[in-house]
Amino acid sequence: MAAGRIPLVLLACGSFNPITNQHMRLFELARDHMHSTGNYQVVKGIVSPVSDGYGKQGLVSAEHRNAMAKLALQTSDWITNDEWESDQPDWTETVITMRHHHGRILKQYQQSTGPSPQLKLLCGADFLEGFRVPGMWRPEDLEELAGAYGLVCVSRGGLQPERAAHESDTLWRHRRNVFLVREWVRNEASATEVRRALRRGLSAKYLLPDAVIDYIGRHALYTDASESKNQGTPLRPLAKQYQPGGTGGSLG
């Protein structure tokens, strides 16, 4: 490893419903960007599918989402899928997932000399929009995310992460920990679009790995019925974090 560079792990939390080439591009773009700063050596990428408890509409079971991510990442030599978050009984705040993974990484690097490894959250620009939705993030969690860890955020379509970063005081305060990556070519082949194509019996080939398309076909995963799942149910973070009387501060 290049001398003096900080070992860096990128963690992407999301539905991965299903995982697509677009998701995997995030990792590639982020790694290139962080390397080009001269300060980091990206040693690992982690895909962390959200648990079923998230309650998002159209979310198929974690069992399937994990299986698909595993298939998609078979040929990657640095990105892996991790089931810890989806194994938890309830939806887990992102900072808790990050604490868990950061702990594991520190243990792995206990014996090594050189700079301490870092963990940063990898996301698309749409993720930053979530910071503005009341009840999605506790202020102290956002502080921990930006302050203790940091973000690598890739632009998406017309969404400019610079604006969201500018409009959040927390992100602005920790702006040196917030890395914004421009994806110059628009590629909007999102999981939503992929599910739409599959529902309509249209081809999704070349938008996600063949192995994942095969898996989806064998299990008849994405249909009108699957897309209606959780319809009308509030997202778990909103239900959990806005409790009258309140559980208040972060969970341990």
Partner 1 sequence: MEVVLIACGSFNPITNMHLRMFELARDHLQDTEKYRVVRGIISPVGDGYRKKGLIEARHRVEMARLATKTSDWIEVDTWESLQPDWVETAKVVRHHYEELKAAQQDQGEDGTLSYGKKRRMEEEHPSINEAQPPQLFLLCGADVLESFGVPNLWKPADVEELAGHGVVCITRGGSDPEAFVHQSDALWRHRRNIHLVREWVTNEVSATHVRRSLRRGRSVRYLLPDAVVTYVREERLYSAQSEQKNAHVVLAPLARYADAGPS
- Cβ-based nearer residue to partner 1, 23 or 101: 23
CA distances from 223 to 78, 187, 191, 195, 219 (A): 32, 24, 14, 8, 11
Compute CA 222 distance to the chain's CA centroid, rounded to the nearest angstrom. Answer: 21
Tokens standing for 43?
A: 């040693």
Per the document, the length of the chain is: 252
CB of 167 to partner 1, least distance (A): 25
Site residues for partner 1, 62-121, by CB under 8 A, read 75
- How many residues touch partner 1 under the rule CB under 8 A: the total is 24
Among 2, 3, 185, 225, binds partner 1 (CB under 8 A): 185
**Residues 34/152, Cβ–Cβ less than 8 Å:** yes
CB of 196 to partner 1, least distance (A): 9
179 three-class SS: strand
**Residues 122/45, Cβ–Cβ less than 8 Å:** yes
Among 29, 59, 73, 151, binds partner 1 (CB under 8 A): 29
> Does residue 57 bind partner 1 (CB under 8 A)?
no
Handedness of CA 82, 175, 145, 119 (dihedral sign): positive
Tokens standing for 200?
A: 């309509």
> Does residue 184 bind partner 1 (CB under 8 A)?
yes
CB of 123 to partner 1, least distance (A): 17
Q: Which stretch binds partner 1 (CB under 8 A): 56-64, 140-148, 163-171, 202-210?
A: 202-210
**Residues 92/85, Cβ–Cβ less than 8 Å:** yes
Q: Which stretch binds partner 1 (CB under 8 A): 24-32, 91-99, 137-145, 216-224?
A: 24-32
The residue ranges that bind partner 1 (CB under 8 A) are 21-22, 24-25, 28-29, 31-32, 75, 157, 184-190, 193, 202-203, 205-207, 210
